Amino acid sequence: MAPIGALAVVPVATALPAHAGKRADCRRACGSVHDKDTRSSWADAFALEIVALNTPPCFTGRCDWRLPNRRELESMVDVGAVDPAVSPAFDTACAPGCTVLTCACTVSGYYWSSSTLRARLTAGWLVNFSDGYVGGDFKSGSNYVRAVRGGS
């Protein structure tokens, strides 16, 4: 998967390829915290999903997973694509035979970032991977989560 900015990107349900080590995301239909259809509040994204990824033995053997900030999440958008508006590196269309360690699935919907709106501390930034829209939602809302590792 190609680097985006200072982070190498790998789709939170996918193992990092040999060249990676900076960022990875996890989304795959597997009926667990990695399930592409799981939606969470902003607090649960940290308290449940990120904690689960960082609980030993940790997802892919790495214990430094986190929620991406708004700019990192926005960097995954491909404005030339739609439904989902991401590069193929982030979506292998949940192909048959794929596992949580080999494929990336991106749901066309809103994904949380770790960033809080300055004007409204009860809201967090999110990115809609249907069309690339960037906006905010109350942190009590239910949205998708994509974890990353490395970077800032």
pLDDT tens, N- to C-terminus, the chain (152 residues):
333 443 434 333 333 332 233 334 444 434 455 567 789 999 999 999 899 889 999 888 889 999 999 999 999 999 898 888 987 777 777 777 766 667 677 888 999 999 999 999 999 999 999 999 999 999 999 999 988 888 65
> Which of these, 149, 145, 144, 146, lies nearest to 58 by C-alpha position?
149
Residues 4-33 as b or e (16 or more Cβ within 10 Å = b) = beebbbbbbbbbbeeebebbbbbbbbbeeb
Please answer whether residues 124 and 78 qualify as being in contact, where contact means their C-beta atoms are separated by less than 8 angstroms: no
Structure-token match 């939606």, residue found? 39
What pTM was estimated for this model as a whole? 0.77
Start-to-end Cα distance in the chain: 19
List Cβ neighbours of 1 (8 Å cut-off, separation of 6 or more): 8, 9, 10, 11, 17, 20, 89
Residue type, 140: S
Integer Cα distance of 147 and 110 in angstroms: 14
Strand 148-149 versus strand 3-4 pairing type:
unpaired
